[in-house]
Structure 1
Amino acid sequence: MVLLVPEPVIGFTPEQPALAAYPKLLSILPTDDRCVLVEDPVEHMLDQIQLGQVSARIDYFVNRMRSGEPDEAGAAAVALTRRSFGAFLARKRGETIDAAVAALERALAATPAEDDETGSLVAALTGLPRDAVAVLAARLGTDPAAFPATIPAWVRWIVEFFRREPEAAGHLVGGLDTIKAVTRGRKTGGPITDAEFDRLNLALQAWISGRPFSEIEQALGVAANAVKTCKRSRDLVLKVVGRNLYMVATAATELAKRRLAPTAEGVVQIPAVIDILAYALRVGFDSAAKTAFHHLHNDIRTRVEAHTRFRAFAGDGEIDDGGTFGDVFDRVQVRLLLFRFED
């Protein structure tokens, strides 16, 4: 008997990664076996920090590593790094990650202390740039009585933030080119104009009030006889709302939550509008009550249908958005039971 091996034999050392074998395994194993090279993303980021590179990804990584209690965040980040998969592989190779850890400690020391007043704690929790979140925090202020009271008012506030602080807003969302594209039809040209910001606000209000895409398209400045596939509206919803404004709304409401005074029992009651703003904006609702109504109706498939059925359900009287989202949810649920009973 003769055993013919058509390829060079690959050796495997126990408890040692066989990186040279990966391409060969990938070529002979079925695709559904998922031959995946396991790497540690932390190790890659530490290498970049050690080389002194600066990027939005590194900023995000350092911010996320700093999340936690201010006095413990740095030590926790270092401890997590020493427990990482990359550190484990380094020990297997007889190496250390001391130089990388020292670079991380320098990067952590270079970031401001976490502080609710400037929003740096929110930046650490969300991974957003600290300087841009600080601008957002300054514009929001510290008086809860001055915060927007409704979802449409919050949307206007966010658009106004983009209008007044375009540099910080662009830093938060990675640039304003997509907003340019949906408000003017192209990414080229100068800064976004006041008229274009007005269009953005009108289109967002149409989105959260349940208007169809054709009307949102016209709110963005497209002539009625030119409305076809509603590309601008789809980009507004999928890219501007779903990616950009959602993150800004999340940061703004996290800042707002940290400015609310606790009750006598030491509990912070978060208003429903603040609690569900980012989600409501993303899915297209202009009240906490409509958001709760949609949550209670799994059979509703579209945003427009949800608004239509809510109007039939609520009639001429709106359901109060006051209190926490739990309070609003209970009011909607009770009224829904009565509504079904009356039918």
Structure 2
Amino acid sequence: MTEGNFVDYVKIDVVSGKGGQGSAHLRREKFVAKGGPDGGDGGRGGHVIIRGNKNLWTLFSFKFKRHFKAGHGEHGSKSRSTGAAGADVYIDVPLGTVVRDTETKQLLFEITEDGEEKIAAEGGLGGLGNWHFKSATNQTPRYAQPGTGGEEKKLTLELKVLADVGLVGFPNAGKSTLLSALTAAKPKIADYEFTTLKPNLGIVQYRDFRSFVLADIPGIIEGAAEGKGLGHYFLRHIERNAVLLFLIPADSPDIRKEYEILLNELRKYNPEMLDKSRIVAISKSDMLDEELMAEMDEELKKDFSDVPYLFISSVSQFGLQKLKDKLWVLLNE
């Protein structure tokens, strides 16, 4: 999937169907002089239903269709026949989609399972036919209820990618290179900041035909929680990850300080993110010789007593199998 096809934020308009009108029909047959009321009820208006689809990864389809309208219920008819319900409209979305009311910003629901269905706009109720209103004092009511109107809503769809492991790091830390080294994904890789503007997903093949999903999230900068850089547009994707993999390059001036800045941005955005399992990978370690790596290792043992770390190189494949082993253990704890 190209980066331009990854759409994770759209606004749509939905309109449910009106309920059908009840019938005010009076029974008239050759040998039944006073058949009385027999008007049927109107049919229910169609719902607009949002449904999870595991085969979708993006909200790209909504670039071309943003208005959805369900069918109206049919009117009731004679012999107490109820009108047909209006046709429901199903809107398929990828798993991890959050639905909000555009005007009030209220969270309506989230879709996290394949086939899960939520009614976004309820169809109007069908009106009652005149036979419901027959009484001892009114044997032939000549009126029936109209159906109620449908709902019209403006909705905002936000996608939070569902991945097992999320890559967290500053721009140009080597996240896209690591993703391409561990998976078959082909993200854009270049030697400048913010090469990645949208999350990239890849499937990591592990031992015995097992696998897990890795997400390359666009780089964090200091102040991202306040909306600087790409801000909230990518921080929300990290909320779904079970494990956070912090990627810090070996040539960073202060590895621990860089880790603390990243951690602080997550804390400011959503403190619950700190409850996730974490691991630190020192990337670009092919630049280090054995002596320098041993020296850095001694320093890092003091700095990272609270979180596991390891040295890796995506280019030379150094430490990648060990990294996969550690991630698998964290995912299955």
Q: What TM-score does the superposition give when structure 1 sets the normalisation length? A: 0.23
Greater gyration radius:
2
Higher strand share: 2
Higher helix share: 1
Q: What TM-score does the superposition give when structure 2 sets the normalisation length? A: 0.23
Report 1 or 2 for greater relative contact order, CA contacts < 8 Å, sequence distance ≥ 6: 2
